[in-house]
A and B are shown apart, each in its own frame.
Chain A
Amino acid sequence: MSTKGPQVTVTVQRGGPEGPGRKQQFQVPAYGSQTVLDVVSWIQQNADPTLTYRFACRVGMCGSCAMMVNGVPRWTCRTHVSKVLQDGAMELAPLRSLPVIKDLAADMDPFFDKWVSAEALHHPTASRDDPIAPIDPDAPERVTASAGIECINCAVCYAACDTVANNPDYLGPAALQRAWTLYNDSRDGAHGAILDAVTGTGGCQSCHSMGSCTAYCPNGLDPLSAIAGLKRAATRRFFGKGKG
């Protein structure tokens, strides 16, 4: 592989679950419209085949490839190198607040375990034998639910959140936002169970409204407002109003 032409200096955090390992520097050829994921793939294919990272779709749909780029959690397949370079260099690390499997691959288990803990899973009210329930896309509750359903589970919000970093029990923005969409989904049959789950230890009231989730969500979603919605719903229920 040619080493002539413009180069990008890339510092990659290596190592496994035993803790932050050594940092390794690579010189990667720069070219137009290059994404951060392109850079990582180049390193793995041309410089060090032992580099571990995760990706699947390459088009911002699967949520697999998020990592820390110059300290910012980003979806690397949709992040252009030219937008994030600092003095011709960038530093890559696995997502913050998650255990490391190896190198740039974070262990997503705690992230998804918290979705289950938040009851952020569908509770069916009908079976496949029932007729399909009509859903009015313009109904207020449906509009609220629809605002959050484009989450791709990339855990960028989870890595951006300082409350997640400081409170191991905190369910995190993505799980709480998913719980909020289901709470507003007329087809979900366990709104009370959702509110129970998100008002326990590490629930929505642990959120300090710092807004980093909303600031860094690559899909432009607003978990901060979803969590505020859960707080309102919990308060309404406490005073004997609302549902659940």
Chain B
Amino acid sequence: MKAIPRAHPLWLAYILHRLSGLGLALFLPAHFYVLSLALTDTARLDAFLRLTDYPLVKLAEFGLVFLLAVHFFGGLRLMALEWLPWSAAQKTWAAASLAGAFLISTTFLLRAI
């Protein structure tokens, strides 16, 4: 049997929220490990921070901020959807959250380069 077509805005918003959350959850342990180097091995931390000068790492940071923004706005969308009795504007909010996430992450990218 063919798979159900899922490309409607609310489902895409759902999967984006899940995947961005998963990406952030995978990033956090690495983030805390690098932060801990400030206490345990400052030389290694400095060496690691120099990596952030590379364009590829800047691009990865853009992706990270995009994940954070998309998850943040996706969460706001979900809270609006479930806590406020709005019914007709859900798709608009899904689109608006995505647009907001793009705005923030692109602003960050432009500042970084």
> A residues touching B (Cβ–Cβ < 8 Å)?
13, 20, 68, 70-73, 91, 93, 96, 147, 160, 162, 208-212, 214-215, 222, 224-225, 228-229, 231-232, 235
| A interface, over-half SS | mixed
Q: Which residues of chain B have a CB within 8 Å of any CB of chain A?
A: 1-6, 8-11, 14, 78, 81-83, 85, 87, 90
Residues of chain B contacted by A232 (CB below 8 angstroms): 82-83, 85
- Is there contact, CB below 8 Å, between B4 and A96? yes
In the bound complex, residues from chain B placing their C-beta under 8 Å from that of A147 are 87
The answer to whether A211 touches B1 (Cβ under 8 A) is no
With A210-B14, A211-B8 known to touch, is A93 a contact of B1 (CB < 8 Å)? Answer: yes
CA distance in complex: A70, B1 (Å): 8
Chain B residue contacts of A208, Cβ below 8 A: 14
Q: Are A228 and B82 in contact (CB under 8 A)?
A: yes
- Top 10 nearest A-B pairs (CB, nearest first) are A211-B10, A71-B2, A225-B87, A93-B1, A215-B8, A210-B14, A228-B82, A210-B11, A231-B82, A71-B4
Is the beta-carbon distance between A212 and B4 smaller than 8 angstroms?
yes
Contact A224 B10 (CB under 8 A): yes
Instruction: Give every chain A residue within 8 A of B1 (Cβ-Cβ).
Output: 13, 20, 68, 71, 91, 93, 96
Q: Which chain A positions have C-beta within 8 A of B6?
A: 162, 210, 212
> Chain A residue with minimal CB distance to B7?
A215
Complex alpha-carbon distance, A116 and B2, angstroms:
31
Which chain A positions have C-beta within 8 A of B9?
Answer: 211
- Of A211, A228, A231, the residue contacting B14 (CB under 8 A) is A211
Taking the closest CB of chain A, its distance from the CB of B16, in whole angstroms, is 12
A21 CB to closest chain B CB (Å) equals 11
List, in ascending order, chain B residues with CB within 8 A of A210's CB: 6, 10-11, 14
Query: In the complex, A231→B81 CA distance in Å?
Result: 11
A229 cross-chain contacts in B, Cβ below 8 A: 85
Cβ 8 A contact of B5, one of A71, A224, A228: A71
B111 CB to nearest chain A CB (Å): 33
* Residues B82 and A222 in contact, CB atoms below 8 Å apart: no
Which residues from chain A contact B14 at a C-beta distance below 8 Å?
Answer: 208-211
